[in-house]
Amino acid sequence: MPARTPAECDIQVIAAVNAGDLETAVALYESGAAVVSPSGETVTGIPAIREVLSSFIAMKPTLTLEVPLVVQSGDTAVLHSKWALKGTDGDGNAVDTEGNGVEVVRRQTDGTWKFIIDNPFGTDIIGTGEGTSETLF
């Protein structure tokens, strides 16, 4: 189901991951989208995004999500999300974690919305990307 509002991108990707529906989750991303993986690496493109989403689905998670803030300008929006995940890692250990995400979505020509940047870890992962870090004051 396509996202009809910016926030629906987050809501629908979480629902798809909870349902184990990889293809529905991947369909919410533009072909050149970027995603921050759990290791902090930024990956780009559908094959890499499919791999990251597969790792979440493999945990057979129960994810919950809130989208407390959406900032939209024209055809682009920034989403601020709060999520929690309970699942099982590859060794059978329980996983119980949460985070604050920052996502950028863009309105498509058909009026639906898709991710162009998905950082589920927001500022929880700092200094692992290609940006710079410096003291301003």
Does 26 fall in a domain? yes
Q: What pLDDT is stored for residue 125 in this prediction?
A: 60
- pTM score of the predicted model: 0.88
pLDDT > 80? residue 135: no
The number of domains in the chain is: 1
Does 29 fall in a domain? yes
Does 134 fall in a domain? no
pLDDT digits (tens, 9 = 90+) for 11-40: 999 999 999 999 999 999 999 999 999 888
CATH number for the domain that contains residue 54: 3.10.450.50
How many other C-beta atoms lie within 10 A of the C-beta of residue 125?
A: 18
Pairwise CA distance, residues 12 & 16, whole Å: 6
Distance from the Cα of residue 22 to its chain's centroid: 13
73: containing domain: 6-124
Does 70 fall in a domain? yes
